[in-house]
Each structure stands twice: as C-alpha cells, then as structure tokens.
C-alpha cells in the first residue's frame, strides 16, 4: 500500500516536534511505502493531497490540527480519486474533528490503529459561496462551518500566531472575549432545504457535520457524521454579556435548551447577509473569505481509515 502523509510542522508546538521522530518511525513500520510531505504555507495541504492521490497513494494521513485535516479533506474530495481514504493524527490546538472518534495517543498505538482499521464512510460537506474578492469558491469540509462571532474569533486567532501556544479551550475563550468586544451582530437569512427558518441578527449560526468546534465547544451535541443530514444551530443576537454567557455554556453542552437557540436539520443550508456589513465566516477554524455560503451534505462522501 502506497501511503501519503501530510504534516503541518508548526501545528501542536514543541510537544509535536518531540513526538514526530517516534511517530514517523512507527508509521514506517506499518507503511513502508510512504511519501511524506510537509506544509510551508496556509492552504498548501489542499494541493499536496491532490498530488499524493494523483501519484497513486492508497491512503492519505493528515498530521495536524483541524485546518490541516480540512485542507486534506478538500484536496482528496476535489482530486482525481475522491474515494481515497483519509486517516488523521490530531496534532494541534483544537483538534475538534478528532473528538468525534476514539483515537490512540502513543506512536505505536496510532500507527497500528490506522493500519488495522477497516475503511468506513462518513458524510462530508461541500460549500459554495461568493468570494469577498469576487467569483465563486467551492470547498469541502468535514466538521463545522459557522457565521457570526465565531468568524470574528477565528479571524482574531489567525491574525495572532502566538495564540497557538495556548491550549485549545483557553485560546478560544480568550479570543471569544476579544471577538465579542469587536463583534457587531450580523443580520442573516438562514434557508434549509428551500425553507426560510430564520431572518435577523445572530450571535452565531453553525452548519455542523461534527459536534465540536472552537477547541472543545460542544456546540451541536446531536450531530451525527453518518446520518446524511446537516445540523444547524442558530443563536440569535443578544448583548455582549449574553454572548459571553452563551459561549461559556458550550464546553458542557449546557446551551441546548437556551431560549435564544434553535436547532434544525436538513440536506442543504444557505446563509446570506441581510443588508451591509462584514460577513464573518469560518470553516473548520479557517477563514474561507466568503460573502455568502451554501452548504450541502455529501452522504457517505468521505472514506476513512481510523
């Protein structure tokens, strides 16, 4: 089996650097025919994944955080062989997508878990949107996209590289406070399967395949990676104090019965801005640069060995 590995060398900090030699050795023991690539720029993992698939890799392993995994998912699903299986080794500050699985955490156990795992299929998501710079963007992701204060939080974190030295939840809560201070509630229209479910100001609107985002925020506890549907959470606009209170409930999933929240399911979701103002959007912890988005579920669209 020819195996490709895409590693983000700056993800996970010093602990990641120390662990990598032992992890690489363990992986070589299970996958002797390996092609290892390292990213040197944001977004590069998309093209690296396409190249590895085109070169004949039967498996692509993503080593990094949610952004790296999301890029590899997009690369595989937009490649010449979108059925190529993905494996992931979480190694970042958030690693929210990995929370949906029970993964090993030592080099030997990680390598053997991947080598022995059967191929299974989960849903993936394709987003199509108008780019802020003009034109249309098409991208795939596996976990969560959101609009609102979360987009502001992600933008703030990505503009401060040193923030990655913090733990995922600590980082998210600190930048949540900063994001709330800066955020002016955006008015959006949310349409699910052709039916408008909400129009007005939002704190955040999430389109979820997985259950966690923001370094351990359990935003959509009922999300199921294999049900062929998107889960949508809409948190209506409130005061800054109210926003912080809602965000503080997320790690414990204590927000689900809050009167400002509504949950929905569907196969396609459109979120478009109402009026002027910035459309703050993120997908798997990265800013895709969209001014409006449409998400559609791809049932059993992503092959996994995990």
Query: Per-10-residue mean pLDDT for the chain, 306 residues long?
Result: 96 85 98 98 96 99 96 98 98 88 96 98 95 89 93 77 58 73 89 98 95 87 97 92 82 83 97 85 88 96 98
- Cα end-to-end distance, the chain, whole Å: 16
| Beta strands 144-148 and 281-283, pairing class | antiparallel
pLDDT (0 to 100) of residue 164:
56
pLDDT (0 to 100) of residue 121:
98
| Residue 37 C-beta-side C-alpha neighbours within 13 Å | 23
The pTM of the full predicted model, rounded to 2 decimals, is 0.92
The answer as to CATH 3.40.47.10 being correct for domain 125-298 is no
Domain(s) of CATH 2.60.200.40: residues in the chain: 125-298
pLDDT (0 to 100) of residue 275:
82
Let me know: does 304 contact 98? Beta carbons within 8 Å.
no
pLDDT (0 to 100) of residue 84:
99
pLDDT (0 to 100) of residue 47:
98
Domain(s) of CATH 3.40.50.10330: residues in the chain: 3-117
**To which H or E segment does residue 128 belong?**
strand 119-131
Residue among 274, 263, 267, 276 nearest 294 (CA): 267
Number of Cβ atoms within 10 Å of the Cβ of 191: 17
Burial class (CB in 10 A: 0-12, 13-18, 19+), 290: buried
pLDDT (0 to 100) of residue 69:
97
What is the C-alpha to C-alpha distance for residues 78 and 128, in angstroms, rounded to an integer? 13
Let me know: does 75 contact 81? Beta carbons within 8 Å.
no
pLDDT (0 to 100) of residue 166:
57
Let me know: does 203 contact 235? Beta carbons within 8 Å.
yes
pLDDT (0 to 100) of residue 261:
93
pLDDT (0 to 100) of residue 132:
80
| Domain 3-117 top-level CATH class | alpha beta
């Amino acid at each position: 089996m020819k195996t490709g590995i895409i590693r983000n060398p700056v993800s996970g900090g010093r602990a990641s650097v120390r662990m990598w030699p032992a992890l690489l050795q363990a992986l070589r023991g299970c996958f002797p025919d390996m092609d290892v690539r390292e990213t040197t720029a944001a977004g590069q993992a998309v093209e690296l994944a396409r190249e590895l698939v085109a070169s004949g890799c039967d498996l692509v392993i993503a080593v990094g955080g949610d952004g790296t995994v999301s890029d590899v998912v997009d690369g595989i699903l937009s490649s010449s062989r979108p059925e190529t299986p993905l494996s992931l080794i979480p190694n970042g500050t958030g690693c929210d997508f990995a929370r949906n699985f029970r993964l090993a955490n030592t080099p030997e156990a990680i390598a053997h878990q991947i080598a022995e795992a059967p191929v299974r299929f989960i849903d993936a998501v394709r987003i199509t949107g108008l780019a802020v710079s003009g034109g249309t963007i098409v991208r795939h992701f596996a976990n969560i996209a959101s609009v609102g204060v979360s987009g502001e939080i992600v933008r703030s974190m990505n503009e401060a590289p040193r923030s990655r030295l913090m733990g995922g939840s600590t980082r998210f809560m600190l930048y949540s406070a900063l994001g709330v201070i800066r955020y002016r509630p955006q008015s959006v229209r949310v349409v699910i399967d052709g039916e408008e479910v909400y129009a007005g100001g939002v704190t955040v609107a999430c389109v979820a395949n997985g259950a966690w985002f923001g370094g351990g925020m359990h935003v959509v506890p009922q999300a199921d990676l294999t049900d062929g549907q998107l889960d949508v959470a809409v948190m209506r606009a409130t005061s800054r104090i109210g926003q912080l209170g809602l965000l503080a409930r997320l790690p414990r999933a204590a927000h689900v019965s809050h009167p400002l929240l509504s949950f929905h399911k569907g196969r396609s979701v459109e979120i478009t801005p109402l009026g002027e103002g910035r459309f703050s959007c993120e997908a798997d912890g990265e800013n895709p640069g969209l001014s409006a988005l449409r998400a559609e579920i791809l049932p059993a669209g992503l092959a996994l060995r995990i």
